[in-house]
Structure 1
């Protein structure tokens, strides 16, 4: 037994100890600070012998951790060998034992071939036992696929069940009410089809941001069954498809047709009645689904009869350049298409109004509240699937729709998620107050003014609100504008707007350039004339997703005053005229620039009747 294993051996006759034990005992004593001569005397060996052991084994070069380990171990063994131990001895034994074990791990780690498992038992043991197979990325097991489909089918409303029943149609074209869950449904439908059939799915929207709404929905659906989907394009595999088969690709595209070329698969075209350049984009989109096993799905709320997609909806596009005897007539009335129908041009069409949706179980809206909030003609367009005739409008739909852009891609100086979305660059704002007596909405619009003479105005942000008094409206404006460097704010100071103006015009509001606008025939005419000029010259830009900007401008109509002697513009002031609050708020901004757009913009203005 070594002297370290039995410290009492130090008190035995050293001459009876084996040479190796005496050498270890000598090293231990040397590391504790003994002199060579003292060790020789203690162990009853020649001094030259101890010196020889010291030099050959290089005791002085030993790492400090090894010396400390030797000292701790010796003290530990002394305590263990005691016949009568005090409570303090037991505590010290426990402490020293843990320290010796810890130092031994460190020494093993520092030796050649050492690894993390020498220091951490959890790491050392993690590879022991049966290992669970690592989940494949973007992969659905048969059980996950079945569970997801069950979740999907259980939550469908009646009209969505009709869409699902017609999944295999080569072309579907659906005219639908706003806010009935169409984007949500078709995202789920496409995911289920990708899992089961392995077919590619392509999503087209007015902007990249809108297309990514599909992506966000799909990621959320997959998480319901524990699958974490990543990638753009997104590649999906499943146990329902043969091993080694190519993954289904999910592409999320804006309406820039150049980015849409070269792909093939089922495609979903969201809000196709609200995109600019539909004819050209539709050719590219149709090319994606040339092969007969691909499907095409168009769905949208209606815009105007002037939109290039309207002839596709009515079937007149097919009749062009056809002989009279080859022409077809398609009944696109609500009565004919309420339940969906495969039409004469092999396109399956359906109209789903908000009332139809409610009749089929949709319980997420209050119909009476919607009818109270929107004017009759506006309700018919947004929720009744009625197209707008913009022939009497002061603004043309096709002029407005081409102003849309993909702001997240094109505006590098604007980040809507930032604390200061436009930094400290100046912005202009316009506010059209809510008139509590007339029951219309209020609107706040924020624009980046042109960076150069004749440049573009850009709508950065817009808000609509209802049911607030003038003080609440003023507080709302202050909160929103606090994120921007506002140098001009135009407010309609008529009616309730007078109170809003007075509160915000005070220095303590923190808003600069607060400007009073009081309506008259001349003021209205000037604002509309300026806006028409800006629109026609394509000097206004806004994200494609802001569809209500377009509909708001379209609702402004030219009319004759009650006296019959003057022409004015009417809309958005409540009643049956529809809401144009966003358009009026925007025009409060545009009028801050001179009519010719060339002079230096004014910091503030005041228009009094």
Structure 2
């Protein structure tokens, strides 16, 4: 057990100025014994007034004189909260999680201070609740809504800049660029960064900020971040659109507007401001969306920021990235050539089309101070081509794929808006209506993930399948996988479950097919063959091309899984099959295969009983 508040062994004592008596008390309140504290002080070179080590007897005397054991619980809790908050404040590079935790700790300390005021002589209910107030107090000036003082604005900007990784600082230093286009690795904090950047700009300049995403849920991730950021300096932001004022601008100026737009982007036509286009390489109808977005930022004072993980070279946004979109319908002498390689754009560069481009892959992020990843573990978890796409920023060429990228993203929808009969947060997300499920097991010998997909079957002939949930598992044995499936499906009325019963899947199937294991559910044992796999892919292709598969646009991993499946020859070279992933195995497309286990429960023509190599257990 080591203390987070003491210097590391060997650190110069002169750089640590703190009160040993207070810190000894803090450790004691957190469960340390007197001898443990003395040993800890000796280990870290903590000395007393005489310059010598602090003996156990001295610490025992402090304990007795200051009555550590008699301190009220609330004081001990306050001490722990203060220590943790100070530890986070001292961190040079703060993560989004650190900032959220600092906000929560600050609110807890404030709440405990209210309790202490209430318990003292003269305390009243207003000490516990601002809304009650003190009846004897005079009139108070009402705080302005969504308003930042100069001090709050300065503190918020300090917190923001102090917590940036190097590549985020590169984005900040490129603020003078009117158009920024960023190709990035997954999960490196881009949404977090741009939400904070936009809030700072709104406070300081009064400019409107507009966030474009493919779904309402994605757009409101920006809003959630912004509300959390404001709380760090004691401002509670409300409204949608959100109107923001500050002492940094004249009071008569209009408030800065912050709009968070998903599929309702058309309602913003006529609005103007800086816009941020999230995951633009993955949205359907990019050309239409971009026309609206560009219209919002026509005036030269507005900024345009596009950022996304790459998808495929077939996406309509790809020519914008390469500059080919600008070259269309231009004379040969007026065309431009842009180097969009990683070597050219790793530090950011302005092209001849005046667009500032930047590539940040996961290795760049790590070099830039982001220590949130175990890159080698990710390389092990994902197939090489999938890792290259998700984390090394490589575009996918889907020309050989069994499922075309543009067909897949056309199946995306905004589930929060379109599916009024489904609520993932409810105890029964789909009420008592039937669902079907598919499971592709983890194969221990090649380390692939397992996948569970839950779908609402068509409500009428020709109606769509709707993907309600998907989960990926890793590192579980067959019994643990079976228990996970039972736990997830217990929230639904599942009437069909298709399981690939080869390898580890055989054990999962046997456990779930037992009488009473899955009441009311038909458990289908799927044994892959060349003929069955072809049947599954043909069925899925038919469903996708007819627009009969629907899923929330945020499920990018599902799209990637389908696109990764390619048509190839068998080992003998005499037949065509479908494969994806490491060494010819089809494991990393697990979400796609699990989905196809569901789709095959409907016959190829959608009318007759399915005919396939399956064993059905009631």
TM-score interval, normalised by the smaller of the two chains? 0.7 to 0.9
Which of 168, 191, 197 is matched with 1:189 structurally? Answer: 197
**Distance in structure 2 (CA, Å) of the matches to 1:587 and 1:441:** 16
Task: Say if 1:142 and 1:238, in contact at 8 Å, map to a contact too.
Answer: yes
Q: Which residue of 1 aligns with 2:110?
A: none
Instruction: Sort the Cα spacing of 1:447 and 1:125 in 2 relative to 1 into closer, same or farther, 3 A.
Output: closer
Alignment partners' CA distance in 2, 1:576 and 1:134: 65
Residue deviations 1:389-413, cap 9 Å, x none?
Answer: 0001000000001100000000010
Q: Which among 471, 474, 489 is matched to residue 481 of structure 1?
A: 489
| C-alpha distance in structure 1 between counterparts of 2:466 and 2:133, whole Å | 60
Match in the other structure for 2:393: 385
Q: TM (normalized to structure 2)?
A: 0.77
The equivalent position to 2:591 in structure 1, one of 572, 575, 582, is 582
Could you give the per-residue CA deviations for residues 87-117 of structure 1, whole angstroms, max 9, x where no partner exists?
xxxxxxxxxxxxxxxxxxxxxxxxxxxxxxx
Change (3 A) 1:318 1:489: same
Pick aligned residue for 2:260 from 229, 252, 258? 252
Q: Quick check: 1:175–1:351 contact (8 Å CA) kept in 2?
A: yes
Distance 1:303 1:509 in 2: 41
Alpha-carbon distance, 1:128 to partner = 3.9
Matches within 5 A, 1:121-270: 126=134, 128-129=136-137, 131-270=139-278
- Aligned twin of 2:551: 542
CA spacing shift, 1:128–1:568, aligned 2, 3 Å: same
Distance 1:251 1:210 in 2: 13
1:436-464 deviation digits (Å, cap 9, x = unpaired): 11100000000000000011000000001
- The one of 441, 444, 447 equivalent to 1:439 is 447
Q: Distance in 1 between matches of 2:137 and 2:265?
A: 54
Normalising by structure 1, we get a TM-score of 0.78
Q: How does 1:18-29 map to 2 (within 5 A)?
A: none
Q: How does 1:524-535 map to 2 (within 5 A)?
A: 524-535=533-544
CA displacement at 1:341 relative to structure 2: 0.4
Select which of 342, 354, 360 maps to 1:346.
Answer: 354
SS of the residue corresponding to residue 227 of structure 2 reads helix
Q: Are 2:575 and 1:566 equivalent residues in the alignment?
A: yes
Question: 1:382 deviation in Å?
Answer: 0.3
CA distance in 1, matches of 2:357, 2:131: 61
Q: Deviations over 1:511-554 (max 9, x none)?
A: 41111000010010000000000000000000010011110000
| Residue 479 (structure 2) aligned to one of 455, 467, 471 | 471
Matching of residue 501 in structure 1 with residue 529 in structure 2: no
Instruction: Give structure 2 stretches of 5+ with no counterpart.
Output: 1-129
Q: Distance in 1 between matches of 2:196 and 2:495?
A: 45
C-alpha contact 1:488 1:604 (8 A) present in aligned 2? no
Distance 1:397 1:123, change over 3 A: closer
Q: Which residue of structure 2 aligns with residue 10 of structure 1?
A: none
Q: Is the 8 A contact 2:274 2:297 kept in 1?
A: yes
- For residues 343-376 of structure 1, what are the alpha-carbon distances to aligned partners after superposition, in whole Å with 9 as ceiling and x for unaligned? 1100000000000011111111111111111111
SS at structure 1 position matched to 2:516: helix
Match of 1:513 in 2: 522
Per-residue displacement from partner, 1:27-46 (whole Å, max 9, x unpaired)? Answer: xxxxxxxxxxxxxxxxxxxx
Q: 1:497 to 1:125 in 2, by over 3 A?
A: closer
The answer (yes or no) to whether the contact 1:558–1:570 under 8 Å persists in 2 is yes
C-alpha distance in 2, partners of 1:289/1:123? 42
Contact 2:185–2:362 under 8 Å retained in 1: yes
Structure 2 CA distance for partners of 1:389 and 1:316, relative to 1, 3 Å: same
Q: 1:598 aligns with which of 600, 603, 607?
A: 607
Q: CA deviation at 1:133?
A: 2.5
Give yes or no for contact 1:592–1:605 (8 Å, CA) kept in 2. no
Greater gyration radius: 1
Deviation of residue 492 (structure 1)? 0.2
Residues 125 and 525 of structure 1: is their aligned pair in 2 closer, same or farther, counting only changes over 3 Å?
Answer: closer
Structure 1 position 255, deviation (Å):
3.9
* Alignment pair present for 1:315 and 2:287: no
Map of 2:462 onto structure 1: 454
CA shift at 1:262, angstroms? 2.2
For 1:527 and 1:280, how far apart are their aligned partners in 2? 34
Tell me the equivalent position of 1:43. none
- The one-character-per-residue Cα deviations of 1:544-592 (angstroms, maximum 9, x if unpaired) are 1001111000000000001000000002577676710000000000000
Q: Which secondary structure state, in structure 2, belongs to the residue aligned with residue 483 of structure 1?
A: coil
Question: How many residues align structurally?
Answer: 488
**Structure 1, unaligned stretches of length 5 or more?**
1-121
CA contact (8 A) 2:526 2:613 kept: no
Q: Residue in 1 aligned with 2:564? A: 555
- Give the 3 Å change call, closer, same or farther, for CA 252–600 of structure 1 in structure 2: farther
Q: Pick closer, same or farther for the CA change 1:201–1:223 going to 2, 3 Å.
A: same
SS at the partner of 2:615? coil
The structural deviation recorded for 1:603 is: 13
SS of 1:267's partner is strand
Q: Report SS of the residue matched to 2:498.
A: strand
Contact 2:181 2:307 in 1 (8 A): yes
